[in-house]
């Protein structure tokens, strides 16, 4: 019998298959950047981060600002760099994640008083750095995106988050991370509602066909699935499947779409939404592009252990296609 049953509640847990996620998405420069940061070679690292292409620059800033151990030495880079805006940016963005490390990922009532204090202190570090960056460069889009995350972390409310988002799209109307952060802010589990979430996703997708933004619709449906206690019947509705197909046609399958470093994140989001909604042919189009090396933790972590989730849904999709589903 096939070991994965979509709605099984009593099936024994299978051993977790081996799955390796590549945080660099196959990009050799990103891998080298991580190595240079591990060696604390800021001068060499910044030559990669300071890429003239905005999308590549954003990707490399993300790699740098999530590097473990960075806070131990980045102040040296700030002091010695003749133009410290970039190391300040990386430090500020890293400090937001550093703050969440202190807080932990549990509900607010599970966080100790000491952890709250450290969380708040580290967010101040982040805010000071990002403020300094924006004083030097008011249109620094990565710092502006950081302000969205910071406003959310500090529970500033939806109005403040929307102002931060507006500042980003005034500079870069299709910035992927800014839109992801805003979608999270307007979903039910944070500051919004299902209605507000779908309104945001549809408005931004319609405004920018041929880009990655229509993936917001896939993420909105996955968020709705989560909020409904993982109700597969929701994703299996024909109208949801049609909505997902239309979104993919306006994004990864649009004739004007141009692939970039972060395109695998789009393939993975659509693959998960299609597979869980029984749209197997569309899911396989995405799985084929992902291959064995471009799976991403997000959104598979929505299901549970991301490596196990990816392999189960990919194999289930292919099994169903072999059955003629």
The predicted structure's pLDDT at residue 98 = 86
The predicted structure's pLDDT at residue 9 = 33
- 180: in domain: no
The predicted structure's pLDDT at residue 8 = 44
Q: Are residues 215 and 122 in the same domain?
A: no
Q: How confident is the model at residue 105 (pLDDT cuts 50, 70, 90)?
A: low
Range of the domain at 267: 187-325
In the chain, where does DSSP find H-type helix? Answer: 28-38, 42-49, 54-64, 74-80, 85-103, 113-136, 141-153, 158-169, 176-186, 194-207, 215-227, 232-235, 238-249, 263-276, 280-290, 297-300, 306-323
Q: Are residues 92 and 50 in the same domain?
A: yes
For 34-49, what is the mean pLDDT?
A: 98
Of 174, 202, 228, which residue sits at a domain end? 174
- In whole angstroms, what is the distance from residue 282 CA to residue 320 CA? 12
Q: Are residues 159 and 287 in the same domain?
A: no
| Res. 209: pLDDT tops 50 | yes
Q: How confident is the model at residue 67 (pLDDT cuts 50, 70, 90)?
A: very high
The neighbour count for residue 257, using CB atoms within 10 Å, is: 19
Q: How confident is the model at residue 186 (pLDDT cuts 50, 70, 90)?
A: very high
The answer for residues whose C-beta is within 8 angstroms of residue 149's C-beta and 6 or more apart is 96, 181
- What is the tally of structural domains in the chain? 2
- pLDDT tens digits, one per residue of 276-325: 999 999 999 999 999 999 999 999 999 889 999 999 999 999 999 999 86
Q: Are residues 138 and 246 in the same domain?
A: no
Q: Are residues 200 and 303 in the same domain?
A: yes
Distance of CA 11 to the CA centre of its chain: 31
Q: Are residues 84 and 169 in the same domain?
A: yes
- 49: in domain: yes
Of 174, 209, 228, which residue sits at a domain end? 174
Give the closest residue to 180 by CA, choosing from 151, 196, 194, 200.
200
Give the closest residue to 214 by CA, choosing from 232, 198, 230, 226.
198
Of 121, 145, 174, which residue sits at a domain end? 174
């Amino acid at each position: 019998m096939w070991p994965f049953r979509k709605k099984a509640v009593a099936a024994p847990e299978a051993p977790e298959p081996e799955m390796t996620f590549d945080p660099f998405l196959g990009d050799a420069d990103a891998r080298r950047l991580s190595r240079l940061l591990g060696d604390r070679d800021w001068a060499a690292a910044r030559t990669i981060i300071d890429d003239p292409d905005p999308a590549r620059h954003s990707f490399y800033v993300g790699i740098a600002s999530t590097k473990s151990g960075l806070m131990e030495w980045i102040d040296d880079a700030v002091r010695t760099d003749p133009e410290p805006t970039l190391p300040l940016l990386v430090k500020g963005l890293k400090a937001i994640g550093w703050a969440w490390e202190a807080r932990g990922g549990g509900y607010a009532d599970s966080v100790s008083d000491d952890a709250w204090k450290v969380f708040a202190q580290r967010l101040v570090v982040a805010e000071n750095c990002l403020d300094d960056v924006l004083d030097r460069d008011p249109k620094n889009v990565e710092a502006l995106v950081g302000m969205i995350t910071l406003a959310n972390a500090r529970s500033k409310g939806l109005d403040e988050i929307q102002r931060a988002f507006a500042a980003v799209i005034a500079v870069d109307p299709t910035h992927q991370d800014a839109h992801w952060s805003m979608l999270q802010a307007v979903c039910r589990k944070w500051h919004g509602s299902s209605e507000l979430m779908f309104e945001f996703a549809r408005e931004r997708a319609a405004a920018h066909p041929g880009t990655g933004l229509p993936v917001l619709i896939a993420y909105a449906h996955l968020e709705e699935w989560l909020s409904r206690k993982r109700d597969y019947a929701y994703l299996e509705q024909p109208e949801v499947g049609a909505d997902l197909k239309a979104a993919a046609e306006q994004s990864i399958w649009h004739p004007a779409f141009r692939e970039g470093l972060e395109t695998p994140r789009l393939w993975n989001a659509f693959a998960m939404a299609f597979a869980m909604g029984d749209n197997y042919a569309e899911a396989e189009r995405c799985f084929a592009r992902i291959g064995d090396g471009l799976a991403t933790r997000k959104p598979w972590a929505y299901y549970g252990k991301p490596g196990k989730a990816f392999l189960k849904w990919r194999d289930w999709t292919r099994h169903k296609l072999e059955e003629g589903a």
